[in-house]
Amino acid sequence: MAQRHPDPADPAAAAVTGEVLADHLRAQATEFLRALRLHREGGAGAESDGAVRALRRSARRISGSLHTFRPLLDAGWAESVRPELAWVSGTLALEQAYAARLERLLLALHRLSGTPVLPAQAAGPAGSAATERGKLAVGAAKAGALLDRQLTLARTRAHSAALRALGGSRFHAVADTMALLAGEVPLTPAAAGADLRPLAAAAEERLTAAVTALPLVRAGHPYNAEALVHGLSPDPSPHPQDAPWHQVRLLLRLHRYAREVLHGDDVTDVRLTAAGQALDRHRDASEAATAAAQAARTPRIAPATAYALGVLHADQRHEVEAARYAFQRSWRTQTVGTP
């Protein structure tokens, strides 16, 4: 196995070479295949969910390395594989995303109604939403039922689409590519001895530059009312302000994956983790707010339902603002680049 885990802050430390990258890609491809086998053997439920999660996890990591360390890999190969991995990861993510969105929105409705949530509901909201609804006010209950219907339908469709994808020829081609990658990594001739650190540093610089462009001073000032500022705009996609934060979330993930290649995934930076969690929360709240706004455009809903969805939308937009504040706090104390 190639040398890894030198201190990247120490310029005298031995270089981390392309061999480390090859090891990492082989390991992740093996992990992908293991998860796929688990998924095919397992039935439905939590085991299948875990296998899908593991598939996405390795797909994201391989795709990230293909991006960050592109100059060390066969260019044509890397460019053809990356979109396929993104397709796998994206297709498999949707079912879980809809389930999480529904859970987030139902929990928020309960919080807003001042009613306690049963532990069973927090664990799996789709099933117990109906029994819990009795304790909510009429508008909140109807809003919950509407979101339940719409997001459960979307989730079911995403589930079918994921199953179709896993059984289709496009996915089989990806699995074949992973099987080959688990054996041999198409490095460029110069890559084996090349230093990974400048490429990893470039990924970190892209992150730092994107963070610098964020309105962090404003985000650090609580209750700035920024996230809701276009909440009633006639614009159909009223929150372009979210995009740079979503972009930082992706760049932070690429930086984290590059760190994993260099230092192994046992070296975690708690502040990096906190920043990433804040950005995940930002993304989730942003999408939940959009789902509430979309549900409010359902024809022929009662005014009380629309009112509850308006309150819910605003609540989630404030969650967006709170997540930006949390990111700013975690980033402020961040010493970038040291493990």
Q: Identify whether the C-beta of residue 3 lies closer than 8 Å to the C-beta of residue 18.
A: no
CA distance 329 to 311: 27
Told to check if 50 binds a second copy by CB under 8 A, we report no
Structure tokens at 167: 């059984």
What are the phi and psi torsion angles at 266 (to 5°)? -85, -10
222 binds a second copy (CB under 8 A): yes
SS3 73: strand
In this chain, which stretch among 48-56, 244-252, 260-268, 302-310 interacts with a second copy, using CB under 8 A? 302-310
Closest CA to 280 of 158, 97, 117: 97
The residue type found at 83 is P
Coil, helix or strand at residue 17: strand
One-letter amino acid identity for 122?
A: A
How far, in Å, CA of 22 to CA of 42, rounded?
30
Q: Which is nearer to a second copy, 146 or 194 (CB)?
A: 146
Q: Does 229 bind a second copy (CB under 8 A)?
A: yes
Rank residues 84 and 226 by Cβ distance to a second copy and give the closer one: 226
How many residues interact with a second copy (rule CB under 8 A)? 44
Binder of a second copy out of 97, 210, 301, 336 (CB under 8 A): 301
Query: Do the beta carbons of residue 335 and residue 307 sit within 8 Å?
Result: no
The least distance separating a second copy from the CB of residue 307, rounded to whole angstroms, comes to: 4
Site string for a second copy, 313-332 (x = CB under 8 A): xxx--xx-xx--x-------
Bridge partner list, 150: none
Contact between 107 and a second copy by CB under 8 A: the answer reads no
251 binds a second copy (CB under 8 A): no
Segment near a second copy (CB under 8 A), from 19-27, 195-203, 220-228, 250-258?
Answer: 220-228
Residues 108-137: x where in contact with a second copy by CB under 8 A, - otherwise, as a string:
-x-xxxxx--------------------xx
* One of 18, 125, 238, 276 touching a second copy (CB under 8 A): 238
Q: Which is nearer to a second copy, 8 or 238 (CB)?
A: 238
Task: Report if residue 306 touches a second copy, rule: CB under 8 A.
Answer: yes
Q: Which is nearer to a second copy, 246 or 318 (CB)?
A: 318
Integer Cα distance of 119 and 109 in angstroms:
15
Query: 192-195 long-range CB contacts below 8 Å, 24 or more apart?
Result: 192/17, 192/18, 192/19, 192/22, 193/17, 193/18, 194/17, 194/18, 194/72, 195/15, 195/16, 195/17
Under the criterion CB under 8 A, does residue 309 sit at the interface with a second copy? yes
Q: Which residue type sits at 182?
A: A
- Greatest extent of the chain over all pairs of C-alpha atoms, in Å: 69
Task: Assess 271 for contact with a second copy (CB under 8 A).
Answer: no
Indicate whether 29 belongs to the interface with a second copy (CB under 8 A): no
Mask of contacts with a second copy, 135-154, x by CB under 8 A?
-xxxxx--------------
Interacting residue ranges for a second copy, rule: CB under 8 A: 109, 111-115, 136-140, 222-223, 225, 228-235, 238, 296, 301-315, 318-319, 321-322, 325
